[in-house]
A and B are shown apart, each in its own frame.
Chain A
Amino acid sequence: MNARPLPLFAIALPLVILAGLVASVSSQTPAGPSLTVLAREGRRALPIAMVSDQEFVALDDLAAAFQLTVHEESLGAITVTYKGKTIVLTPEQALASVAGRLVSLPAPPSRSGRRWLVPVEFISRALTLVYDARLDLRKPSRLLVVGDVRVPRILVRYDSLGAGGRLTIDATPRANSTVTQEGERILVKFDADALDAPTPLLPPQTLQAAAPFVRDIRVADNTTIAIDTGPRFGGFRAAAQPADATARLVIDFVSAQTDTTTAPAPPVAPAPQLPPDVPPALTPPASAIRTIAVDPGHGGEDDGVRGAQGTKEKDLALAVARRVKGIVEGRLGIRVLLTRDDDRNIPLDDRTALANNNKADLFISLHANASVRRSAAGATVFLAAFDDSDTEAANKPAPGERVPTVGGGLRDIELVPWNLAQTRHLTQSIEFATILEQQLRTRVPLSVHPIDRAPLRILESANMPAVLLEMGFLSNAEQEKQLTVDVFQVGVAQSIYEAVVRFRDSLNAGGGR
């Protein structure tokens, strides 16, 4: 696989090496969005064309980058050949035949002048099946990692802790890091080839909250994160917390003015690679739940279910979501994020992304149900369900590819796609669903199956405990009346509040892990 001649990479590499951040690489490309290909040989950008809201790449560009041969057959089919293995595409068909196996694509190939464009998923669903090296498409980052290049995904969050503050840096798959201090700057250097990090690393409002300790945080070079310390910075303590596939680095800041009684605050922290058992916090975390994402289903032109009396699911979901926000924020001081706070339709992935990006600790999607049997009634708490084949596929490397033993060994989370993030949290999701069911039982009618599991898209990609609550059936005339009444909606909101309290207490006590 090292035989691919990519001389341009070698020339371009020094020029783009400062780019570091994948997102910034794509934003720097003048011609518009691009897919950054990261290989041992270097990196290159493939232009992305938007067709009907789908991201496409030109087959020509792929052919040049991956040594493919593209032929347009007389009957209209397009054949893509790599080392004797053939992929056949048919115009107007959202399918590809890969060495005899049929693979679906989100959209058919599209012609642009003389060139053929294919959805970027062509790479992860079709090309990867015939290609020699592993192809890891990270669509949200517009990044394609080829072979055994180590590119951990970086997620940073900041929390205020009493007089101090805490910065949490997650690297997935696991990549060890070394922390050093140089004057007013803390450098976190990762043992990796590049970093897949968002731009900016912290959203502006979070950075503002962190300002006393963290004036700025950015990717300084390909593999280093630089933290400029703020005016109240008095020292820090760093600790590594290796999880299954993620390396978590926790940096606690000590205030220069107020925090002189405890915490010796060494000026230079030791490298945090070894002591996983050292408790990372200066103080224990205040609560296992700081943020909840509440998702009122549907919205905008998507009414969801409509009752016979005209009640719309989207309005009902929003009304109850607002009640939940009021009660939980007012009584518990837990931040409640609504995925929408007005009548608009938001794509399912964006809703989960909001929860994931804000590091929500719990995700609750609110809906109203429907059945062709008018008698069906009662609330149901839904959990995500996954096919065995999904999880197997997620854990399986590309065919013929040996998984490189990088950083975190053989278990490489990058092989778990975005839509399987929930698999890591199912145990806690089940625990929360059980608590919620108990709370609902005392206040609203429950379905004969009060807890159910289905492959629900909104839950699959939630990177935290997540449930979908169907509050009742708008297809049932009596239930439609109930659902619109204050008492019912308050009952649902109160049940969610009580369940959050109990779930939080259980987590704080160390349960559910």
Chain B
Amino acid sequence: MDRRVSVAIGIVFVAFVVGWLMFVSTPRWFSRQQKPVAAAPAPAPPAPPGRKIKARLFYVSEDGTRLTGVEREIAYGEGPLEQAREIISAQIAPVTEPLVSAVPPGTKLRALFMTEGGDAYIDLSREVTAAHTGGTLDETLTVYTLVNALTANLPAITSVQLLVEGKEVDTLSGHVDLRRPLSKNLAWVQ
């Protein structure tokens, strides 16, 4: 009888242990294991949190008449389109002296898309025209800052057209023709 009781207790104990392992411990262990796996393919940042690439951005030269190329580290983007967005976001971000940007302060990137043929369209907020100093020189520098930022860094992009608030515009402040995509022009870079 005692033996039967001890066998029964043993069975109950084993069943309890197996049950605990199956329903409590293992799922917890699995969930702990899977959490990071599930997070990996999700949004970009966690996987390579600080991954950077070097890109050549453009700022107004000291005498104000040309652009100067400056190598800076910017966030890595998956594929040319994402990378283009990162480059333009970095290019239009505020800078401090001695750097001076030809892109008016407050300009935001609304959208950026590209065609298979290598034309990129940068859609900027209204500040790019409203806050512009005007003048042929500054307008030319603003345009080629953005055109060159993409074409000089991304071989996949051969020309760039600027849009403002989602629309095609004739010019930013009355001078440079923006009705069609413009190609890289390093003559405006020192």
Contacts and interface: CB of A to CB of B under 8 A. Distances in A.
Interface stretch (B4-12, B40-48, B84-92, B170-178): B170-178
A457 B113 contact: no
B164 to A, nearest CB: 11
Interface residues of A, number: 53
Interface stretch (A16-24, A98-106, A192-200): A98-106
B137 A419 contact: no
Interface residues of B, number: 43
A385 B101 CA distance: 23
A304 B139 CA distance: 12
B105 to A, nearest CB: 10
B102 A372 contact: yes
A377 to B, nearest CB: 9
Given A372-B101, A452-B137, 13 more contacts: A101-B116, A102-B113, A305-B133, A305-B134, A369-B137, A371-B138, A372-B133, A373-B60, A373-B62, A382-B136, A453-B187, A456-B176, A457-B179
A348 B177 CA distance: 10
A306 B173 CA distance: 13
Contacts of B185: 385
Contact of A456 (B163, B168, B177): B177
Interface of B: 60-66, 100-102, 113-117, 119, 121, 133-138, 140, 159, 161, 163, 166-168, 170-171, 174-177, 179-183, 185, 187
Interface string A370-401: 11110110001010010111100000000000
Given A376-B65, A387-B159, A454-B175, A369 B168 contact: no
Interface of A: 92-95, 100-102, 104-108, 297-298, 302, 304-306, 313, 348, 367-373, 375-376, 380, 382, 385, 387-390, 419, 447-449, 452-458, 460, 468, 470, 473-475
9 contacts: A104-B121, A305-B133, A367-B135, A390-B180, A452-B140, A455-B177, A457-B179, A474-B135, A475-B135
Interface on chain A toward B: helix, strand, loop, or mixed SS?
Answer: mixed
Nearest to A298: B174
Given A101-B115, A104-B161, A456-B136, A388 B171 contact: no
B63 A376 contact: yes
A390 B159 CA distance: 11
Contacts of A106: 168, 179
A448 B63 contact: yes
B133 A457 contact: no
A455 B167 contact: no
A102 to B, nearest CB: 4
B174 A348 contact: yes
Contact of B64 (A92, A367, A371, A382): A371
B25 to A, nearest CB: 49
B107 to A, nearest CB: 13
A98 B60 CA distance: 37
Given A372-B64, A376-B64, A102 B119 contact: yes
Contacts of B115: 101-102
B166 A373 contact: no
A449 B170 CA distance: 26
| 7 A-B pairs with the lowest CB-CB distances in the bound complex, closest first | A373-B64, A370-B135, A376-B64, A371-B64, A457-B177, A102-B115, A370-B133
Contacts of A453: 187
Given A368-B135, A373-B100, A457-B177, A102 B63 contact: no
Given A104-B161, A370-B138, A454-B136, A387 B183 contact: yes
Given A94-B168, A105-B168, A455 B176 contact: yes
Contact of B167 (A94, A457, A460): A94
Contacts of B137: 369-371, 376, 380, 452, 470
B174 A304 contact: yes
Contact of B175 (A372, A390, A448, A458): A458
Nearest to A449: B65
A119 to B, nearest CB: 10
Q: Which of B140, B159, B181 has the most CB of A within 10 A?
A: B140
Given A102-B115, A368-B135, A380-B137, A107 B177 contact: no
A512 to B, nearest CB: 24
B174 A302 contact: yes
